[in-house]
Structure 1
Amino acid sequence: MNSADLGRRVGVPSTALFTDQYELTMVQAALKAGTADRRSVFEAFTRRLPEGRRYGVVAGIGRVLDAVENFHFDDEMLTFLREQNVVDGPTLAWLADYRFSGDIWGYLEGEVYFPGSPILRVEGSFAECVLLETVILSILNHDSAIAAAASRMSAAAGGRGLIEMGARRTHELSAVASARAAYIGGFDTTSDLAAGFRYNIPTVGTSAHAFTLLHDTERDAFRAQVDSLGRGTTLLVDTYDVAEAVRTAVEVAGTELGAVRIDSGDLLLVAHRVRQQLDELGATGTKIVVTSDLDEYAIASLAAAPVDAYGVGTQLVTGSGHPTCSMVYKLVARAPSTDPAEPLRPVAKKSLGAKTSVGGRKWAARRLDENGVAEAEVIGTGPVPAELADRQLLAELVRGGEVIAREPLDAARERHIAARSGLPMSAMQLSRGEPVIPTEYM
């Protein structure tokens, strides 16, 4: 991979307080106990996929790299921690000099994952690694959930255009992250200008119902928009009567009208009627865009409709019912002392119930069948079998604290298309089911 920037990282603030207090109190106690510098390995993974999902989508790795790079405590933060008595003086002094100096390996953005996949592996001292837990999980859990929803919608769309337009349905900062994740998952454009500015995602947008209502007549509104934006614009035709609006739109813009947007009603029926009307008026090249609380199921139900593009908001930015991936960040190996020559020992949580983990520093590979289709996610802690050597999934992202694996967002988008196409066809089914391939441990 090259070192191309992901986009404009303008005015990126420190991420050091995007954390839970117990990360810092653990560091304090470990410093006092003399165990803070023990070499450690943490892994981010999920024990299960969200109910009904057949695969997960890795998104947020680029944002994690930014977060790690900008994780440092400035004077104002240290003053806050001191005034709130969060940690003691020696710990504050340690935090003042904090910069992550370890190594990070992980699945690349756009790749698919399954239960147990070691999506991110963070190696360094216990103290420097444990501080990153919350910020890493907050990014991966959010972005991967959005990317998975986007991927399902992309598969349902069958190559038709997809517009991300959920900025007004979520927090302003998560809206930007959502647009980025949606682009990785298969969306083509976003309505959010901040996402376009920061990540070079193509942006689109024309007008809302308010613009039509502003004018004395619908014709006046259409004329104003066409005069300003040209005949290739998209006119919103469901403010009043759809059939009358379509007729007026073609009269105003001519048969070169770019598109019409439908935002209400029985979209399947209305789209067919609008297509027929456009064709009869000679606007055979005018496209139809539909919006209105769409999700992957609604998109799939419109497969037979003459629709050219879908605009999706609420359901996308909320993960279409699964706003998190339930990823966890667990210590899986550590040295018995601070001696750098000491070998790592596997450790794992062994509590009752489903909250167990598998110890050891892991590798991961995807085994293919004779047709080149994925048949298993293979995870191990020992030597990598020769037949899986060229199928390994973890890539080096950070070496000695330095980010070495930035890439353009389009690379992640293309990787996802390839990864998804390499899964069994049943992965595209929207019906509930188990992960499309099993996870095997070696």
Structure 2
Amino acid sequence: MNTADLGLPVDVPSTALFTDQYEFTMLQAALKAGTADRRSVFEVFTRRLPEGRRYGVVAGTGRVLDAVENFRFDADVLGFLRERNILDEQTLTWLADYRFSGDVWGYPEGEVYFPGSPIMRVEGSFAECVLLETVILSILNHDSAIAAAASRMASAAGERPLIEMGARRTHELAAVAASRAAYLGGFTSTSDLAAGFRYGIPTVGTSAHAFTLLHDRERDAFQAQVDSMGRGTTLLVDTYDVAEAVRTAVEVAGPELGAVRIDSGDLLLVAHRVRQQLDELGATGTKIIVTSDLDEYAIASLAAAPVDAYGVGTQLVTGSGHPTCSMVYKLVARAESGDATAPLVPVAKKSSGGKTSIGGRKWAARRLDEYGVAEAEVVGTGPVPDGLADRQLLVQLIKSGDVVAREPLDVVRDRHTSARGKLPLSATQLSRGEPVIPTEYVNGRSGSRTGA
């Protein structure tokens, strides 16, 4: 695996150190105690959605699969751990041969999720599973937060395209992951060339205000851009006076001008004025693109404006106020001994303060009403109830250490559009509210059902 495919610097040989130190100290102690080989089941879930959100979006699964494949301990990594005296030689020897050999199941990437949804299930020995906690959570928490924001923005935009342009507002590697998550959530293109290179996302871009300021006259800047990129280019018209810039833009490019971009001011008012001016100048086919710190609420407020596309940066790559999904990675079952045939025992944290979890290896299904609209997320242990067997959500992603479910990003993107379309209409409302469907827990032994 080429580390460039992971969005890593070329001098980082693996994902093994994208890990909190306590994963290693737990491993060392378990090896000494003789419990490291116990078969274990870890699950990724969130206890609640970010405040006001109606649904979550599973994103980053493809990157998780790459990260697990690339979770290797080469000489440099082992040398670092040895020099820092983080681990003893027995543990370092064990790590030298580390290859995840277990199974991973999860919601298909692009699917929606709700509180308690077992978004991902990692099965294998305690030793090999516990090491993956941090890298899995860091990817899923970041990418799912961006995808959820993108999904809300896509709903607000309707059929109008969205351009991701937040690379300058976040870490350079996070920007690439954010572009991928945004495309999954409904954006149509990105300004980030690294994202285009790694994931095949369409890329766009023309000029900034600096290009206009470079030239002696705005007309000279427009002429230079049209000479270079053709009449179908997008000209930035708010460096000085918008009305004068629009007039100059059409004079330079003619009515074939592709688009104008507005990046400041009262976008609703300015867009109406620019549309009227363009039409009066005969540039009826010239589109209007708006940018300037947009979020889903601003996009929704422009629904009645003559806007053809939106460019979104800061609010998108920061999750529109919710940069994480608060997903956790918890041990829910483990074997009674290291014997491969030992039965699994459900385990769960039982503390106060809202951090309890439900033990047992879980399945999940989404119950639909008579119209095919989702009405409940059903999560349980034991046998799957009649009527839900063909509605199960988890699919196998890794089998005996081998990735079995890698997918093209466009497939994932289409899946999200389909999944969101099967939610109740209130899912797309931007007003604050509870999850759009409840989570119901089914006890495998008694068949009893409880709400989330």
Give TM-score, length-normalised by structure 2: 0.96
List alignment gaps of at least 5 residues for structure 1.
Answer: none
CA contact (8 A) 2:6 2:63 kept: no
The separation in 1 between residues aligned to 2:141 and 2:106, in whole angstroms, is: 15
1:342 aligns with 2:350: no
The residue matched to 2:320 in structure 1 has which SS?
Answer: helix
1:9 positional shift = 5.6
- Please list, as runs of the form range in 1=range in 2, the aligned pairs for 1:82-121 lying within 5 A after superposition: 82-121=82-121
**2:277 alignment partner in structure 1:** 277
1:251 positional shift = 0.5
The separation in 2 between residues aligned to 1:407 and 1:129, in whole angstroms, is: 23
The separation in 1 between residues aligned to 2:72 and 2:46, in whole angstroms, is: 27
CA contact (8 A) 1:150 1:186 kept: yes
Residue type matched to 1:60 in 2? G
Residue type matched to 2:421 in 1? S
1:353 positional shift = 1.5
The separation in 2 between residues aligned to 1:326 and 1:271, in whole angstroms, is: 38
Residue type matched to 1:125 in 2? S
**1:419 alignment partner in structure 2:** 419
**2:437 alignment partner in structure 1:** 437
What's the CA shift string for 1:159-194, capped at 9, x where partnerless? 101000000000000000000000000000000000
CA contact (8 A) 1:43 1:119 kept: yes
- Please list, as runs of the form range in 1=range in 2, the aligned pairs for 1:218-367 lying within 5 A after superposition: 218-367=218-367
Residue type matched to 2:285 in 1? G
**1:149 alignment partner in structure 2:** 149
The separation in 2 between residues aligned to 1:19 and 1:375, in whole angstroms, is: 38
CA contact (8 A) 2:6 2:67 kept: no
CA contact (8 A) 1:8 1:197 kept: no
**2:450 alignment partner in structure 1:** none
What's the CA shift string for 1:229-273, capped at 9, x where partnerless? 001000000000000000000000000000000000000000000
Shift >4 Å, 4+ stretches: 7-12
Identity rate, percent? 84
1:193 aligns with 2:193: yes
Residue type matched to 1:218 in 2? E
**1:55 alignment partner in structure 2:** 55
The separation in 2 between residues aligned to 1:423 and 1:80, in whole angstroms, is: 48
1:343 positional shift = 1.1
1:181 aligns with 2:177: no
**1:369 alignment partner in structure 2:** 369
The residue matched to 1:331 in structure 2 has which SS?
Answer: strand
The separation in 1 between residues aligned to 2:341 and 2:64, in whole angstroms, is: 30
Give TM-score, length-normalised by structure 1: 0.98
1:26 positional shift = 0.3
CA contact (8 A) 1:35 1:337 kept: yes
The separation in 1 between residues aligned to 2:189 and 2:15, in whole angstroms, is: 28
**How many residues in Structure 1 have an aligned counterpart in Structure 2?**
437
**1:68 alignment partner in structure 2:** 68
1:385 positional shift = 1.7
The residue matched to 1:397 in structure 2 has which SS?
Answer: strand
1:13 positional shift = 3.3
Let me know the Cα RMSD of the aligned residues: 1.1
The residue matched to 1:250 in structure 2 has which SS?
Answer: helix
1:386 positional shift = 2.6
1:384 positional shift = 1.0
CA contact (8 A) 1:261 1:291 kept: yes
**1:383 alignment partner in structure 2:** 383
CA contact (8 A) 1:332 1:359 kept: yes
The separation in 1 between residues aligned to 2:23 and 2:5, in whole angstroms, is: 30
The separation in 2 between residues aligned to 1:113 and 1:287, in whole angstroms, is: 36
The separation in 1 between residues aligned to 2:304 and 2:361, in whole angstroms, is: 49
What's the CA shift string for 1:195-252, capped at 9, x where partnerless? 0000000000000000000001000000000000001000000000000000000000
1:33 aligns with 2:33: yes
The separation in 2 between residues aligned to 1:13 and 1:197, in whole angstroms, is: 20
What's the CA shift string for 1:64-84, capped at 9, x where partnerless? 000000001110111111111
CA contact (8 A) 1:147 1:185 kept: yes
The separation in 2 between residues aligned to 1:63 and 1:352, in whole angstroms, is: 34
The residue matched to 2:43 in structure 1 has which SS?
Answer: strand
